Amino acid sequence: MVTVLNRNAELRQRAWDAAASVVDPEIPVLTIADLGVLRDVVVDEDHVEVAITPTYSGCPAMNMIALEIEIALERAGFRRPSVRTVLSPAWTTDWMSEEGRQKLRAYGIAPPQASNSRRALFGEQAVECPQCGSGNTELLSEFGSTSCKALWRCKACREPFDYFKCH
């Protein structure tokens, strides 16, 4: 019995590691574990099910991510893997790991800030330039190259940059 439990725990860990290695196709420095998109892995005898939560309702990367998870699990030796989408609780940028935030910054994308002022209709945000670290920045466009990003500009080093918006 104990051996079976251990065996299951070990299988689950292997499945988790395989799923967690999948990266966001739009931001390939982040894994779905860094993003907080990977929610759960359930293993029973001959089946593994991975639960993910979508970031934005219409984010086209989600289909790709689901496919990549199935491929990663098959490669790790799991047959008939499946991916389930869970909507609740809704994904938030608060779930992004500290490691993920550092990777984003190193990649040139400003990581999401604490989201408590999001509700203000015309709230002020303070975003640091990922290039030079200056706080002297301005918003160029609330919507950027993907659903999750806004376009900003640094007034100190004059470089434009992406900001991963709070959600």
Partner 1 sequence: MPVANVQVSETPQVLYALRRADDALILGHRLSEWCGHAPMLEEDMALSNIALDLIGQAREFYTYAAKIEGKDNDEDKLAYLRDVRQYRNLLLVEQPNGDFAQTLVRQFFYSAFADLYWRAMMNSRDATLAAIAAKSEKESAYHLRHASEWIIRLGDGTEESHVRAQAAIDHLWAFTGEMFAVDAGERDLIRAGIAIDPEGLRGRWLNTVSGVIGEATLTFPQNDWMQQGGRVGRHSEHLGHLLSELQSMQRIFPGLTW
Residue 4 or 121 with smaller CB distance to partner 1: 121
Which listed range, 50-58, 94-102, 103-111, 128-136, lies at the site for partner 1 (CB under 8 A)? Answer: 50-58
Could you tell me where the DSSP H helices lie in 21-161?
32-35, 61-75, 98-107
Residue 91 in contact with partner 1, rule: CB under 8 A: yes
Residue 124: name the closest of 145, 110, 138 by CA.
138
Residues with Cβ < 8 Å from 56, sequence gap 6 or more? 147, 148, 167
Helix (H) or strand (E) holding 9: helix 2-20
Interface size with partner 1, residues (CB under 8 A)? 26
Residue 79 in contact with partner 1, rule: CB under 8 A: no
Residue 103 or 149 with smaller CB distance to partner 1: 149
Q: Which of 87, 116, 126, 138 binds partner 1 (CB under 8 A)?
A: 87
Rounded distance, CA 141 to CA 19, Å?
Answer: 34
Binding positions for partner 1, 118-157, rule CB under 8 A? 118-119, 121-122, 140-145, 147, 151
Rounded distance, CA 140 to CA 146, Å?
Answer: 15
Q: Which residue ranges make up the site for partner 1 (CB under 8 A)?
A: 54, 56-60, 87-92, 118-119, 121-122, 140-145, 147, 151, 165, 167
